[in-house]
Structure 1
Amino acid sequence: MIGTLVNTAAILAGSVLGSIFKKGLKEKYQTVLFTAIGLAATLLGINAAVTHMKDSSFPVLFIISLAVGSVIGTALDIDGRFQRLVGRFSTSNLGQGLSTGILLFCIGTLSILGPIESAIHGNHTYLYMNATLDLVTSMVLASTYGIGIALTAVVLFVWQGAIYLSADYLAPFLTAPLLTEISIVGGVLIASSGLSILKIIEAKTLNMLPALLVPVVWFLVKGLLGL
């Protein structure tokens, strides 16, 4: 799990460096960073969705996924539960930063395929690339939201660790078509988080997280029915 450990360490290091940088920032510069993060997340999300859209064999699946997932997530009040949990330890808007960080760090091809490639072939290239990107991203997030962003490293470790340990079972199932659909939905969620930071929309992105499971269920049913 060397690749996952490096990726986790990169986020921790970025969070520490970013939080140190935050202490010397005036409020007007923190506002600028909020805008920068919002714009970056929005652009990254749109790019991920649009890039994979052309490869989708089920163009309406992401719409169904978002609709069904949002209803389920709202019924479960995922966002509310998360915000209340974070609120016990922080009075700032750390919850927004954590939700954005978790989406950016965990929902992507590198973070999903990386642990599988590492476990099966001993190739850590994807995870090293991911670690580099996450180092920079965590620095920017922590310079805005503080050291609390380091908590995303725990989520990433659990996420990638679970994939790593299940690699032999997941590898045959995680086909290119499925990853394409997950990437489209993930891109929309990341863009939604960015637009929320910019206060363009008031989206409770965490309530949409179940949308990521809809393509998985669809491909499972499709496989069982032989469609």
Structure 2
Amino acid sequence: MIGTIVNTATILAGSLVGSVFRKGMKESSQTVLMQAMGLAAAALGINGIASYMPESQYPVLFIVSLAVGGLIGQQLDLEQRFKEAVARFSKGNLAEGLSTAILLFCVGTMSILGPIESALRGNHTYLFTNAILDGVTSIVLASTFGMGIMISAVVLFCWQGALYLAASALAGFITPELLTETSIIGGVLIFCSGLSILGVGNIKTMNLLPALLVPVIFIAVRSAL
């Protein structure tokens, strides 16, 4: 899991650097950075959707996944629970920044494919590349939302660690087909996160997270039939 450790370390380092810059930054500069982060997240989301949509064998699956996952997430009220949990440790808009960080760091293609490649082939290239991108992104996020962005590094470590262990145990089930479908939904979620930062609509992105499980269940059931 050397790739995951490096990825986690770069986020911690980037968050520390960004929080130091934030102390001497004007409010107008923080606003510009927040807007830049929102645009970047939206652009990354669109890129993910455009890259994987042509490869999808089930063009409607992501729509069904978002609808079903959204209903489940709304019923559980994941967004509000997440904000309340973050509010216990920090004031301000850290919840928004942290949810964005978690989506950017964990739902991206390289963060999903990287641990799998590392477990199955011993190839850490994706994770090392992802570490550089996440390090830069964490600097910008921490300079906008504060040192609390470091929490996302813990989430990333648990996420990639779980994928690494799952890939080792379920090598035959994690197919390119499944990665394609989850990457499309991941792109939509990251795009929604970007819109939320920009203040375009009141999208409860965290409530849509269960949508990532729908393709897993669908493909598992389809393979069993």
TM-score when normalising by structure 2 = 0.98
Partners of 2:39 and 2:210 in 1: how far apart?
24
Matching residue's letter, 2:88? R
Give the drift of 1:175.
Answer: 1.0
Aligned to 1:95: 95
**What is the number of equivalent residue pairs in this alignment?**
225
Deviations for 1:148-187, whole angstroms, at most 9, x for unmatched residues? 0000000000011111222222332121111111011010
Partners of 1:193 and 1:135 in 2: how far apart?
19
Aligned to 2:222: 222
Aligned to 1:171: 171
TM-score when normalising by structure 1 = 0.97
SS at match of 1:38: helix
Give the drift of 1:116.
Answer: 2.1
Partners of 1:116 and 1:187 in 2: how far apart?
19
The answer on 1:10 being equivalent to 2:19 is: no
User: Identical aligned pairs, as a percentage?
Assistant: 64
Partners of 1:198 and 1:10 in 2: how far apart?
26
**Which structure 2 residues correspond to residues 1-227 of structure 1 after superposition, within 5 A?**
1-225=1-225
Matching residue's letter, 1:120? L
Partners of 1:32 and 1:12 in 2: how far apart?
23
Contact 2:70 2:209 in 1 (8 A): yes
Partners of 2:222 and 2:143 in 1: how far apart?
45
Partners of 1:170 and 1:97 in 2: how far apart?
33
Contact 1:16 1:139 in 2 (8 A): yes
Deviations for 1:36-86, whole angstroms, at most 9, x for unmatched residues? 000000110011011111111111100000000000000001111000010
Partners of 2:58 and 2:224 in 1: how far apart?
18
Matching residue's letter, 1:50? A
Deviations for 1:113-159, whole angstroms, at most 9, x for unmatched residues? 21122223222111101101100010110010000000000000001
> Alignment RMSD, CA only?
0.9
SS at match of 1:49: helix
Partners of 1:66 and 1:55 in 2: how far apart?
18
Partners of 1:19 and 1:8 in 2: how far apart?
17
Partners of 2:91 and 2:146 in 1: how far apart?
12
Matching residue's letter, 1:12? L
Contact 1:163 1:170 in 2 (8 A): no
List gaps (5 residues or longer) in structure 1. Answer: none
Contact 1:192 1:203 in 2 (8 A): yes
Contact 2:167 2:174 in 1 (8 A): no
Give the drift of 1:206.
Answer: 0.2
Partners of 1:170 and 1:131 in 2: how far apart?
25
